[in-house]
Chain A
Amino acid sequence: MNTFMRWAGFLVVLFIAAPLVIVVPMSFSDARSLQFPPPGYWLGYYRAYFTDMSWLIPTWNSILIATATMILTMLLVVPATFALVRHRFRGKGFADLMMLMPLAVPHIVMAVGYYSYFGQLRLVPTPFGVILAHTCLSVPIAFLVLSANLKGFDRNLERAAQSLGANPARTFIHVTLPILRPGLIISALFAFVQSFDETVVAIFISGRGAETLPRKMFDSIRQEADPVIAVISTLLFAIVLVGIVAPYFISTLRSRAPKPSKPTGAH
């Protein structure tokens, strides 16, 4: 069983790695259409990406929308998580379940709803519509990360601060927040990434007024498969690589056992 599993595992590693790696040589290709291996190499499509407004504006829109989504999500989720983790009250089980609902509803269903509802509110196609929609979709993800952190919080630290004379506000600012900082940062990051990657709702409601990068990529792949997509894919891939490998190296440098966070769902 062991040798079989090993060989099967090796094949699966290839299957998972190949599509990730292939975009890198493609981005340096000088072919006009999809061709692999590339007939020649140049940097032309990198220049095309960094000079073409029809790619830069969606990139900027996505960064802006994801940042706003992240802030709004955290403003709503942080107090709610404290309520749900630290208090017992009637209806808590129901509230816990409701927090997860946006993960349970397929994005295409929400896209239909937002297209019609935000259309009536004249929020299509505006960045506000996309931010409001993306915040709903980010709430459960941020909540899952933050509540896991808050559940592991040692409340004796707060009691100690209060017994030493700190009032609740001081305790919160000087004890609770600093201890929770890593959890807060990770959950904010998850909210940002969820919005930055979200495609389906953005396709339906971002329109010309607030075109996001995934929407632009989707349209481009559907119509002509502009080779610039390989450039963007490589850049996104590089960001992910740095984002995942960097913490690993930092933790090895600190000679601690690395603990990559278990990712949560995004459609």
Chain B
Amino acid sequence: MGTSLSKLTEKPNIWPWLLLSPLGIYMLIFFVVPLADVAIMSFTEPRPTLANYTKVLTGALYQRVFLNTFLTAAFVTACCLLVGYPLAYLMAHSKPRTAMLILLLVTMSFWTSFLVRTYSWMVLLGNNGPLIAFLQMIGIESPPQLLFTRFSSTLAMIHILAPYMIMNIYSVMKKIDPALIRSAESLGAKGFSLFRHVYLPLTAPGIANGSVLVFVICLGFYVTPVLLGSPREQMIAGLIGHQIEEFLAFGLGSAMAMVLLAVTLVILTIYHRRFGLDKLWG
């Protein structure tokens, strides 16, 4: 019995390989090869040297753009958390009807195209828009330029990415057992200390999940910073696009792309070690 069973399991099962091979071959040709192409171009264009990386990693312009991208991503993540946490709390602890309405709103925002939401912010912050009109109404004679600044692109990115944070935190809050809160209360915890020592740690996985997602998407964000941001304060993805479209500088663009990819993968690998990557988008 024992031997026949081990024979059965030892028999190589070709089914999974047969089922996987079409996708595997497809992804090899149309995903891995183009990605490898970027990696190769970063070393060989226009000449096979390390010059592109030297330039990208030591040039003042590039360092500034990388730093700017990092700080923006960190700031956007922090703001999404600040905005998302109270809303998730409201969803998890209101009457089902209110919670459902907010959930519908957040889901709708999530599914509305990035471009549509970017365009809305153009209207809201434009020189003939409601915000400038409001500033004039309360007596500010010459309101500052809002559109095409770091302010407008950051605000729009917070708005666009907040649903990722809210969904992640909400899904964790919803699963918190009320008995845990009650027992903490019966042991004397209340107010801020209840929040700080019981509620916040229980929601930490959602915070981690949402933050990693928002940070990583923000690092590589192209559309919104290019359309709403200041041309003088680009983010890394915008600069990559600029190098390729305007100067056909494939080598330099690829080297920047590889640095962006490396940073993204390092963050995701750390996340994967702790939580498992499938949870991030699950």
- Smallest CB–CB gap between B233 and chain A, Å? 17
Known contacts A37-B130, A199-B115: A106-B261 contact under CB 8 Å? yes
Name the residue on A nearest B111 (C-beta). Answer: A240
Q: Cβ of A193 < 8 Å from any Cβ of B?
A: yes
- The answer to whether B90 touches A6 (Cβ under 8 A) is yes
- The answer to whether A23 touches B16 (Cβ under 8 A) is no
From DSSP, what is the main secondary structure of chain B's interface residues?
A: helix
Q: Cβ of B219 < 8 Å from any Cβ of A?
A: yes
- The answer to whether B237 touches A116 (Cβ under 8 A) is no
CA distance A6 to B192 in the complex (A): 16
For A75, the chain B residues whose CB sits under 8 A away are 22
- The answer to whether A222 touches B111 (Cβ under 8 A) is no
CA distance A107 to B195 in the complex (A): 38
Name the residue on B nearest A72 (C-beta). Answer: B26
- The answer to whether A116 touches B250 (Cβ under 8 A) is yes
For B268, the chain A residues whose CB sits under 8 A away are 104
Q: Mark A3-29, 1 if CB is under 8 A from B, else 0.
A: 011101110110111111011001000
- The answer to whether B241 touches A36 (Cβ under 8 A) is no
CA distance A166 to B60 in the complex (A): 70
Name the residue on A nearest B227 (C-beta). Answer: A221
CA distance A178 to B227 in the complex (A): 45
For B116, the chain A residues whose CB sits under 8 A away are 23, 232-233, 236-237
For B195, the chain A residues whose CB sits under 8 A away are 1
- The answer to whether A218 touches B115 (Cβ under 8 A) is yes
Known contacts A19-B121, A113-B37: A221-B104 contact under CB 8 Å? no
- The answer to whether A109 touches B38 (Cβ under 8 A) is yes
Known contacts A112-B254, A244-B107: A79-B19 contact under CB 8 Å? yes
From DSSP, what is the main secondary structure of chain A's interface residues?
A: helix
Cross-chain pair count, CB within 8 angstroms: 271
Q: Mark A191-205, 1 if CB is under 8 A from B, else 0.
A: 001000101100110
Q: Cβ of A114 < 8 Å from any Cβ of B?
A: yes
Binds A, one of B50-58, B138-146, B159-167: B159-167
For A79, the chain B residues whose CB sits under 8 A away are 19-20, 22-23
Q: Cβ of A83 < 8 Å from any Cβ of B?
A: yes
- The answer to whether A109 touches B86 (Cβ under 8 A) is no
- The answer to whether B115 touches A22 (Cβ under 8 A) is no
Q: Mark B202-220, 1 if CB is under 8 A from A, else 0.
A: 0000000000010011011
CA distance A262 to B38 in the complex (A): 33
CA distance A68 to B22 in the complex (A): 17
Contact of B30 among A16, A103, A135 (CB under 8 A): A135
Residues 100 to 157 of chain A near chain B (Cβ within 8 Å): 100-118, 132-133, 135-136, 139-141, 144, 148
The number of chain A residues touching the other chain, given as a range, is 35 or more
Residues 123 to 174 of chain B near chain A (Cβ within 8 Å): 123-124, 126, 128-130, 159, 162-164, 167, 171
Residues 227 to 267 of chain A near chain B (Cβ within 8 Å): 229-230, 232-233, 236-237, 240-241, 243-245, 248, 258, 260, 262-265, 267
- The answer to whether A106 touches B112 (Cβ under 8 A) is no
- The answer to whether A34 touches B90 (Cβ under 8 A) is no
- The answer to whether B128 touches A34 (Cβ under 8 A) is yes
For B217, the chain A residues whose CB sits under 8 A away are 265, 267
Contact of A105 among B35, B104, B223, B277 (CB under 8 A): B35
Q: Cβ of B31 < 8 Å from any Cβ of A?
A: yes
Q: Cβ of B15 < 8 Å from any Cβ of A?
A: yes
Q: Cβ of B189 < 8 Å from any Cβ of A?
A: no
For B123, the chain A residues whose CB sits under 8 A away are 22-23, 26, 34, 36, 230
- The answer to whether B244 touches A112 (Cβ under 8 A) is yes
Q: Cβ of B278 < 8 Å from any Cβ of A?
A: yes
- The answer to whether B26 touches A240 (Cβ under 8 A) is no
For B120, the chain A residues whose CB sits under 8 A away are 19-20, 22-23, 233
12 more CB-based (< 8 A) A-B contacts, given A87-B16, A104-B216, A108-B237: A9-B102, A16-B106, A20-B112, A36-B129, A89-B16, A95-B20, A109-B240, A117-B37, A200-B222, A221-B115, A237-B116, A245-B104
The 8 A-B residue pairs with the shortest CB-CB distance, nearest first, are A106-B220, A9-B90, A113-B34, A83-B19, A19-B120, A8-B86, A87-B16, A83-B16
